[in-house]
Amino acid sequence: MKIGIVDCGGANLNSIYYSFKRLNIDSFISNSIDELSQMDALVLPGVGSAGKVMETLSKKKFS
């Protein structure tokens, strides 16, 4: 399983990436719809900054 970590301008992406790595879970940080669409699952970080994250996703046409 490969997990895509959506780079949408929020949260500490590297801490999420390295958490998966310590668990031996294959993950990938990207803001490319093409790359992320190939993942088995996605993580959308940035709960503390949800408004900014949603704005960025909209600008990148993720919605």
Q: Give me 34's structure tokens.
A: 């093409």
User: What's the pLDDT band for 57 if we cut at 50, 70, 90?
Assistant: confident
Percentage of the chain lying above the pLDDT 70 cut:
89
| pTM metric for this prediction | 0.75
Convert the pLDDT of each residue in 5-30 to its tens digit.
Answer: 999 776 688 999 999 999 999 999 99
Q: Which residue has the tokens 């999420």?
A: 16
The domain segmentation of the chain, as residue ranges, is 2-59
Percentage of the chain lying above the pLDDT 90 cut:
54
